[in-house]
Amino acid sequence: MAKRDRSVKEPTKKQTALNRRERELQRRVLLGVGITGALVVILLATGLLQQLVLIPNSPVASANGVKITTDRYQARAKYERALLVNQLAQYQQIQEQLDPGGTNNFFGSQIQQLEQQLSSPETLALSVLDNMIDETLIRQEAAKARPERGPR
């Protein structure tokens, strides 16, 4: 028996063209996936930059050129709200201890006033912003009125 020649056959022109088209198609798909991935990364980076840097540092208000930034304003608003919640809880506790029947109008009116402040977030937010602006203006005036200290 004679052994068959198992040498590698060269691809035909048709196979070569098909291989070339397939490689071109794979290249285009990879390029498309790469561009899409890059766009997603750019969009995510832009969103993170805006949320973590631009918005917190954007001014909410300005008082004589001094900017009140969003992050300072939000922190102050949270602080003021927490103070009101604590104050309300204290008044309610004191009322229960000293006036369980609710006959004293002082505690009832104070509790009602605090509940009203907490139920209106817009009013609380504007109040906090007004206070921050007033404090900035007072600081500026105090700095102007402070006498310059020279060498002793």
pLDDT for 99 beyond 90: no
- The string of DSSP codes covering the chain is -PPP--PPPPPPHHHHHHHHHHHHHHHHHHHHHHHHHHHHHHHHHHHHHIIIIIHHHSEEEEETTEEEEHHHHHHHHHHHHHHHHHHHHHHHHHHHHH-TT---HHHHHHHHHHHHHHH-HHHHHHHHHHHHHHHHHHHHHHHHHSPPP---
Mean pLDDT, to the nearest integer, of 42-59? Answer: 89
> The tokens of 147 are what?
């006498």
pLDDT digits (tens, 9 = 90+) for 76-85: 999 999 999 9
More confident residue, 99 or 130: 130
Tokens of 79: 């602080």
Q: Tens digits of per-residue pLDDT, 11-32?
A: 888 899 999 999 999 999 999 9
Most confident of 6-15, 39-48, 87-96: 39-48
Q: Mean of the per-residue pLDDT values for the chain? A: 88
